[in-house]
Amino acid sequence: MAQRFGGRFSPDRTADDSGRMPVTETRHRLQGRPKWVTIAASPFLLSAFFQEPTGMVMNLAGFGLIAAGMWLTGEGLVAEAAYDRRRVARRPAIPRKLFGGVIAALGLGIGAAEPGAFAEAGLIGVAGLALHWLAFGADPMRDKGMEGVDSFQQDRAAKMIEEGQAHLDQMKDAIRRSGERRLEARVAMFEATVHELFDQVREDPTELGAVRRYMGVYLMGARDATVKFADLYARSQDAQARAAYEEFLNDLENDFTARSRQLLEGDRSDLDIEMTVLRERLAREGVRPADSGGRPALRSDDAQTMEDLLSVPERQKTR
């Protein structure tokens, strides 16, 4: 049954629509390549049934290992895309692309092996590993933006984010039962708002205590409400229940947006305090004059380097 999809520019757009499009996960630019490598290895599979038992087993094993290696490489590309998208991220725990390349190279060597030519098969496998590295690159091997971050707090934040994402996934699974693409898109928009809060907690795990209720209790309540609504709407198509659910999502989304904004304003206030304290300390030490209505703190034609800057008061005393 065809369904009308409402959006920002739809003629029947309601007043509750926020006008924002759901944010989709960023795909790696190479994420489609593993599929084509698996397809290119299909001759191993097709020719296996026209050989003697030993050759058939080796060809089937070669194709299976190449397919498994490409699947693992695809998972590595997904992990790398998530790593690149975030400003603060840990390196993947498992170097999936590296393991995928080794498995695929092993499969290529086994599939190309001939009796008495194992050295040549090994060279083919090594060449396949090198080509895999050239085609897909290496896994991220270093943490990003983790300097000065407490690893214990970061682990706690990661666990809470994982639990919150599980609630969001259950919401999306439940809303599919309603059979309404517009509601599925609305839940996806709410998920994008929650991800903004997730990103802030990743960057500053010390904020976890301030958002624990949002990432735990509130998301759990949203999941339970979505499950009940989806079951009711799938049976009755109740327009009032749908309007109440959309209003509920709007209110919840506004709460998450306000919480994210408060975290940003709190960080900005902390930064202003740090800069004010530093200005006062520099003024006491004579490096800069006291703040005077926003004018430049130090006016000296002699101060061109940090050493010159710090030595300005001494020069002025000797003159």
pLDDT for the residue 256: 85
Rounded to an integer, what distance in angstroms lies between the CA atom of residue 72 and that of residue 102? 10
160-203 confidence digits (pLDDT tens): 888 888 888 999 998 888 888 888 899 989 988 888 888 877 77
Q: What is the dihedral of CA 92, 98, 100, 101, to 10 degrees?
A: 160
Rounded to an integer, what distance in angstroms lies between the CA atom of residue 290 and that of residue 17? 51
pLDDT for the residue 9: 40
Q: Is the pLDDT of residue 272 over 70?
A: no
Is residue 5 very low, low, confident or very high in pLDDT (cuts 50, 70, 90)? Answer: very low
The answer to whether 268 touches 277, Cβ cutoff 8 Å, is no
Q: Which of 10-19, 43-52, 130-139, 310-319 has the lowest mean pLDDT?
A: 10-19
113 Cβ contact list (under 8 Å, min separation 6): 58, 121
Is residue 277 very low, low, confident or very high in pLDDT (cuts 50, 70, 90)? Answer: low
**Mean pLDDT highest for which of 53-67, 149-163, 274-288?**
53-67
pLDDT for the residue 282: 66
Show the tokens assigned to 108: 């290529």
68-82 confidence digits (pLDDT tens): 999 999 999 988 887
Mean pLDDT over 26-53 rounds to 86
The answer to whether 192 touches 140, Cβ cutoff 8 Å, is no
The answer to whether 81 touches 89, Cβ cutoff 8 Å, is no
Mean pLDDT of the chain: 76
Cβ burial, residue 215 (10 Å; 0-12/13-18/19+): buried
Is residue 102 very low, low, confident or very high in pLDDT (cuts 50, 70, 90)? Answer: very high
Show the tokens assigned to 53: 């038992």
What is the pTM assigned to this prediction?
Answer: 0.53
User: How many C-beta neighbours within 10 Å does residue 5 have?
Assistant: 11
Q: Is the pLDDT of residue 85 over 80?
A: no
pLDDT for the residue 254: 87
Residues in the chain: 319
pLDDT for the residue 308: 52
Is residue 11 very low, low, confident or very high in pLDDT (cuts 50, 70, 90)? Answer: very low
Mean pLDDT over 78-88 rounds to 77
213-263 confidence digits (pLDDT tens): 888 888 888 888 888 888 888 888 888 888 888 888 888 888 888 888 877
Rounded to an integer, what distance in angstroms lies between the CA atom of residue 252 and that of residue 193? 10
2 Cβ contact list (under 8 Å, min separation 6): none
Name the DSSP class of 289: P
Rounded to an integer, what distance in angstroms lies between the CA atom of residue 99 and that of residue 109? 15
Rounded to an integer, what distance in angstroms lies between the CA atom of residue 71 and that of residue 78? 11
Largest CA distance in the chain: 99
pLDDT for the residue 161: 84
Degrees to nearest 5, angle at CA 201 with 195 and 202: 85
| Backbone phi, psi, residue 144, to 5° | -120, 125
